[in-house]
A and B are shown apart, each in its own frame.
Chain A
Amino acid sequence: MVANGHRSPARRAAYPARYSALGLLRRGLTHEEWPPAWHAHALKGSYDVVIVGGGVHGLAAAYYLAANHGITDVAVLDKGYMGSGGSGRNTAILRSNYLTPEGVRFYDRSIELYRTLAADLDYNVMFSRRGHLTLAHNDSSLRTMRWRAEVNKAEGVDSEVIGPAEIKKLAPFLDVSDEARYPVLGALWHPPGGIIRHDAVVWGYARGADALGVHIHQNTEVTGIDVAEGRVRGVRTTRGDITTPVVLNATAGWSTLIADMAGVALPITTSPLQAAVTEPVKPFLSTVIVSGTLHVYISQTDRGELVFGASVDPFTSYSMRGSLEFIEGLAGHVLELMPALTNVRLLRQWAGLCDMTPDFSPVMGPTPVDGFLVDAGWGTYGFKAGPVSGEAMAQCIASGKTPEIIAAFGLDRFGEGALVGEKGAAAVGH
C-alpha cells in the first residue's frame, strides 16, 4: 500500500543501511558497525533553500521539498545537534482533537502522515495508537469537551465524551471517585491519539532527507540574515556565509531571534515547559491521560517509564533548567489522579522552550520580507504537527503560494484581527 506516494525502491536503495530484523541479528552476531544514518558535508557557498532549525519541522520540510517537489539543493542548519530543541523535549503525544475546524483538519492530516511514517521512511518510529483521554473536572470543561467532540465529528475525527464508569474501564488506576479533590466528571475520548518515539521521527526524517541529497549541517549557528530591497539574499553562519533566495525559520522557541535578523516582528513570546519521567514500572497504563484543570498529562512508554508534562511556566524565559516548584506541583497533581503512584520515584526532569502566540495557533507562511518564511508559534503543540507543517511549508516554498490547509495561520491575521482562538491547546486551562 502506497499511502502518501513517498515510498519507492530507488529511495530505499539510497539509504546507507536498511533496517531489518535479519540485519539486526547479523550485526548482533558479527559486531559489525552500522553505517552513519546521514552524511556530513562541507558547507556550500549557496543553496536553493536554507532551513534554519534541525528539528522535526525543519527536517520534515526538507524531506518533503525533496520527496514531493524534487527540490534537493537544500541545507538544514542547527546550532546544536538534530532534535536538540523541542523535538527531543516534548512528551511525544499525538492527537487531533482540537477545538477550531482549522486546527482539527490540520492536526488530523498530521496524524494521517504519522500513521504511515515508519513505512514511508523505512524507519521504526514506534507510533502506538493507544487512545487519548482528556479529563473534565468541572462543568465548563465538560462543556468544552462536548464542543470539541462535535467539531471533531463534523471534521470526521473520532472523539466522544464518556462518563466516569467508562473512564474507569480504560484506566483502572485513575481515581474517579467523588472523594477526589477535583472529581472526574467525564472525559473526551479520542481513540486515534497516542504516543510515538520523538527522536526516531527526527532521525527518520534526517535520514530520508539526506538520502535524497539534502545537506544537514549540525553545530552551525545562524548569526545573521542578509536582506536587500525587501528580499532575502543570504545567511551568515558560524561556519561561513551562504547565498540563498529562500530561508525558512523553523526554530520554535528561538524563532523571534532569527526573525529579528531578517527584520520581521513576530507576535511570539518564549516560555519554558517542563516535563519529567519516572523509573520504569510494569505496564499498567494503556492510554494517554490529560487533565487541563490539573495541568498534567501522563503516558507510559514502551520501557515502562511514566512521562509527565505540564503547561508552560507562568513567565517568559529562555532558561531550560528544571525547577523545584514545578516538580512539587506536578507530583501533587499526578497523585491526585493516581494515588497508587505514591512510591514511584522520578528519574529526571527537563524543560523545552515554547514559542507562544496570543491565540494558541501557529504562525506559518510568507512574511513581509520576500523569501523569508516562518514556521513558528508552535507553543505546546509543535511536535504533533511536524509532518503536516513540513509538507505544507515544502508546498509553500515550491509553489510560492500558501496551501489551503495553513491559510488560516498566516502572520497577517494579527494585523487584520482574524485570530484563530485554539482553546484545545495544552497550554489552555479549561
Chain B
Amino acid sequence: MILLPCAWCGPRDAGEFQHVGEALTRPDPRTATPQEWRTYLYLRDNPCGWTTETWYHRMGCRRYIRVERHTETNEIRSAVPAGSTA
C-alpha cells in the first residue's frame, strides 16, 4: 500500500487519490503554436527515478497536491499543495 501525505489530511491510502500525471505548465492557448499545444497534451518525460507529479484527493478533501515520487520504488519525498511555489 502506498501512503500519500496529503497536505491537508495527512498520510492517506493512495487508493483515495486520482493520479493526474506529471506536473506540467499549461501553455497560453492564445499564443501557443499547435506543436507546443500537442507537446503539452501528449509528450511526457516518463522517468525511471524521481518525478514531480499531481495527485487529486478524490475521496478526501478533493484538493490537488504536488508530489515527488520515485517511479521505481514508489518512495515519496515530499507533498505540498499543488499551487504552492515552495
Contact B48 A318 (CB under 8 A): yes
Q: How far is the CA of A266 from the CA of B43 in the complex (A)?
A: 6
Alpha-carbon distance A254/B45, docked complex (angstroms): 12
Residues from chain B with a CB closer than 8 A to the CB of A325 are 1, 15
Q: Which residue of A lies closest to B73 (CB)?
A: A319
Q: Is the CB of B43 within 8 A of A267?
A: yes
> Can you list, as one digit per residue, whether each of A315-332 has a CB less than 8 Å from chain B (1) or not (0)?
111110001110000000
With the chains together, A270 CA to B1 CA distance in Å? 19
Chain B residues in 8 Å Cβ range of A323: 1
Contacting pair B48 A257 (CB below 8 A): yes
- A315 CA / B21 CA spacing, docked (Å): 8
Secondary structure call for the A interface? loop
* Known contacts A318-B48, A318-B71, A319-B73; A358 and B19 CB within 8 A of each other: no
- Among A265, A266, A319, A358, contact of B71 (Cβ-Cβ < 8 Å): A319
Beyond A318-B71, A319-B74, is A268–B14 a contact (Cβ under 8 Å)?
Answer: no
Give, as a whole number of angstroms, the nearest-CB distance from B20 to chain A. 9
Could you tell me the distance in whole angstroms from the C-beta of A307 to the nearest C-beta in chain B? 25
- Contact mask for chain B residues 8-36; partner A; CB cutoff 8 A; 1 contact, 0 none: 00000011001101000000000000110
Q: Categorize the interface residue count of chain B.
A: 20 to 34
Cβ of A5 under 8 Å from chain B: no
A415 at the binding interface (Cβ < 8 Å):
yes
In the bound complex, residues from chain B placing their C-beta under 8 Å from that of A318 are: 48, 71-72
- Tell me how many residues of A have a C-beta within 8 Å of chain B: 22
A319 adjacent to B46 (CB under 8 Å): no
Report A347-375 CB contacts with B as 1/0, cut-off 8 Å: 00000000000100000000000000000
Q: Verify B1–A316 contact, CB threshold 8 A.
A: no
Instruction: For B51, list chain A residues within 8 Å (CB).
Output: 316
Residue of B nearest to A270 (CB): B46
Asked if A152 lies at the interface with its beta carbon under 8 angstroms from chain B, I say no
Residue of B nearest to A417 (CB): B38
Q: B62-86: which have CB < 8 Å to A?
A: 71-74
Asked if A314 is at the interface (CB within 8 A of a chain B CB), the reply is: yes
Among A315, A318, A324, max chain B CB count under 10 A is at A315
Q: Tell me, rounded to whole Å, the shortest Cβ–Cβ distance linking B14 to chain A.
A: 7
Q: Is B44 a contact partner of A414 (Cβ separation < 8 A)?
A: no
Whether A268 lies near B46 (C-beta < 8 A) is yes
Of the candidates A254, A265, A314, A315, the one whose C-beta lies within 8 Å of that of B48 is A254
Complex Cα gap A268–B51 (Å): 15
Residues on the B chain within 8 Å of A314, using CB: 18-19
Q: Which A residues are closer than 8 A to B by beta carbons? A: 254, 256-257, 265-270, 314-319, 323-325, 358, 414-415, 417
